[in-house]
Amino acid sequence: MPGMMQQTNMQKSIMNAQETDMEKTSSFAVLNKINCNEHTEKKNGLTYLSWAWAWQMVKANFPDAFYTIYEDKDGIPYFTDGKTCWVKTGVTIQGLEHREYLPIMDFRNQAIPLEKVTSTDMNKAIQRSLTKCCARHGLGLYIYAGEDLPEGAEQPQPAQPSQAVQNRRQATGRGRQTAQPVQQRYTPVSNEDFWKMVDHYARGVPAKSGEDYRTAWINFTHAGVNEIAMFDDAVINYRVNNNL
């Protein structure tokens, strides 16, 4: 009997240790290690992750995970300021919910005016928003950070020319020219100025040039689609947080 009791206590200790190790492994750590590259596609210079595959990975690793599509007071699954629309979604894993606000946009990632929004546009925004929620939990987060590989994966190294090729270049004088730096297309602004422009645009304050502040910011910074999407996201979050 004493031997059996000792064995039972040992088994309990092992089980407790295993449970402790599982608790130490966060959902973010698990999802952030998954390589999503084979399940993405590029459109207009942006990389998109398949929402169906993303949700499959979440449920495969955390069966109790669930998502929420938020609705307004009338039960409509999007919100509006009278000009444009956005969706609000959330994904809950191990009791932690991450929410995402996403504007309903067209193929150019421009906010669609309220009167032109269709149910198809709304559905696409919801699925894209849920995928971004999964990213906040770690799955494919590196995609939104502009990375090519997930954390821990080896970065592919560019192939080096053989010694024979290097010798031939040296003999012919090739490869001696110094590469000219590529001029940065986007001109950054200070964080203070950025949010000042977001505030003015959200409140409908015109710029000195007579344009709206969104257009003025785009013209000043030479913003591309990524920066424009960032600005639109910032405006929506600003309007929500300030009840505009």
Q: What is the pLDDT of residues 165-183, one digit of tens each?
A: 566 556 655 554 444 444 4
Q: Give the per-residue SS3 of the chain.
A: CHHHHHHHHHHHHHHHHHHHHHHHCCHHHHHHCCCCHHHEEEECCEEEECHHHHHHHHHHHCCCCEEEECCCCCCCCCEECCCEEEEEEEEEECCEEEEEEEECECCCCCECEHHHCCHHHHHHHHHHHHHHHHHHCCCCHHHHCCCCCCCCCCCCCCCCCCHHHHHHHHHHCCCCCCCCCCCCCCCCCCHHHHHHHHHHHHCCCECCCCCEHHHHHHHHHCCCHHHHHHHHHHHHHHHHHCCC
Q: Which CATH architecture has domain 25-144?
A: 2-Layer Sandwich (3.30)
pTM: 0.54
User: Would the CA dihedral through 135, 136, 142, 143 be positive or negative?
Assistant: positive
Q: Residue 1's pLDDT is what?
A: 53
Domain range summary for the chain, segments of one domain joined by +: 25-144, 186-244
- By DSSP bridging, strand 66-69 and strand 85-93 are antiparallel
Q: Residue 183's pLDDT is what?
A: 45
Which residue stretches of the chain have pLDDT < 70?
Answer: 1-25, 44-45, 146-186, 226, 240-241, 244
